Amino acid sequence: MSNLFHARRKIERRNNFKLIASIVDWTVALYIVIPGAIIGFFLYKDFATYVETLWVSQVPLVFWIVLLLLFTGMPTIRTYLQRADRLFLIQNSKQMIQLKRAGFTWTLTKHLCRIGVYLALLAPIFINVHNLTILDLLSYLLLLFTTSFCNALVDLQMQKKWQQFCISTAIRLVSLALFLYVSPVMVAFICSILCIVSFMYYERHFVQSIKHFDQLVELDQVEFYKWQSTVSKTSIELRSMLIPKMKKPLLLWTNSKRMFSRSDYFIEELVCKTMLRQSQYKWGYLRLLLTGLGLIIVTPVWTKFVLLTLLFFGLRSYIKSLLQQIFEHNVWTIFQVTEEQMHQARKRLLKGFVHFPMTFVFALLVIYLIGYL
């Protein structure tokens, strides 16, 4: 590992810690992170203990492999290059090669650990339900790692999105065929050969060569700021720094027709259309709602109402903060709306986005509990 790599990793790590600290203060840690970790521990303990009697035991093994093939894609291979390094590269190419090699090693190691964590979390299903051994899991770990690494090389080599999609899909289908029709020992052998060939290819074309220097710098910067943008979206203060993505929805209200027949609902109409056309508002609400509903579905009975309560207050806080951000826009001074109109619109929007879906889910839970008892 080069000293330059350690220096840049240290700077990036310090900036990331500052970014997380600005979002996760002591109140968030005390009331959300710690209770969530405790509840998650006991939920996973119950899952691992009674996995043979749960609905997941009826899911075929190939489904979990396909799921892992889809969701264990390798992120962009980090090089930690900067544009000013092109001048430095002329004078000391050896250190530049060490920097790219160190970033390559760090990315692969971190990704291998990530896949290992996924397999470890699903180990009760693989071992207790499908009777796989530790050696089988290690073989499939190598299969998933090789698939994601080859896909990462395809993304580096191919510039067009449709080419990347077609070749990546073909690679995943070949990996699925290896899982279905080849023994785990042969899978490990084939994947080892492919990994060695892929390592040699990356070393020759992307580490030793400077042909793709600009591409590697751009991809590294995009990967760095993609993580920071994702973290920033969880904070209202940091979210305002992001460039809003406003666009008309593809299917709903594409011609800006009225959503409500009543004329006194114009505030609600503007807010709903803003949420539909601004991606971070729309997907933030849907992610929070669907994630909470998914957890309510798969968790035991004793935690369903607890999670429903947490989801209710979480959705309510999110919508209130979102409405506050929308109502602070200067456009409302043009319409000359009063505080009373704002208050009534806020109450109706909270009922529509929070109270109505939560009441519906609560009624379904009560019906399920009555049938369960």
Could you read off the pLDDT of 276-321 as tens digits, one per residue? Answer: 777 777 888 888 888 888 888 877 777 788 888 888 888 888 888 8
Q: Which residue has the higher pLDDT, 25 or 44?
A: 44
pLDDT in tens, 202-237: 999 899 888 888 888 888 888 877 766 666 555 544
- Euclidean distance between the first and final Cα of the chain, in Å? 61
Most confident range, picked from 77-86, 132-141, 249-258, 268-277: 132-141
The secondary structure of residue 368, as a DSSP letter, is H
* Rg of the chain in Å (alpha carbons): 25
The pLDDT of residue 192 is 94
Global confidence as pTM:
0.69
In the predicted model, is pLDDT for residue 351 greater than 70? yes
The pLDDT of residue 113 is 94
Average of per-residue pLDDT across 107-124? 93
Return the minimum-mean-pLDDT range out of 8-17, 22-31, 200-209: 22-31
The pLDDT of residue 90 is 66
The pairs formed by 7-14 with CB atoms below 8 angstroms and a separation of 24 or more are 8/80, 9/80, 9/106, 12/224
The pLDDT of residue 252 is 47
Q: Which residue has the higher pLDDT, 30 or 295?
A: 295
The pLDDT of residue 338 is 76
Mean pLDDT for the chain overall: 82
In the predicted model, is pLDDT for residue 45 greater than 70? yes
Cβ of 64: how many Cβ atoms within 10 Å? 19
The pLDDT of residue 251 is 46
Dihedral of CA atoms 140, 146, 149, 154 in degrees, nearest 10, equals: -120
Task: Label residue 115 by pLDDT band (50, 70, 90).
Answer: very high
pLDDT in tens, 158-200: 878 888 889 999 999 999 999 999 999 999 999 999 999 999 9
Most confident range, picked from 39-48, 259-268, 326-335, 352-361: 352-361
Contacts of 270 (CB under 8 A, 6+ apart): 331
Question: Exposed, middle or buried: residue 107 (CB in 10 Å: 0-12, 13-18, 19+)?
Answer: buried
The pLDDT of residue 1 is 47
The pLDDT of residue 235 is 52
Task: Label residue 133 by pLDDT band (50, 70, 90).
Answer: very high
The pLDDT of residue 232 is 59
The pairs formed by 63-67 with CB atoms below 8 angstroms and a separation of 24 or more are 64/122, 64/125, 64/126, 65/140, 65/176, 65/179, 66/176
Average of per-residue pLDDT across 102-126? 93
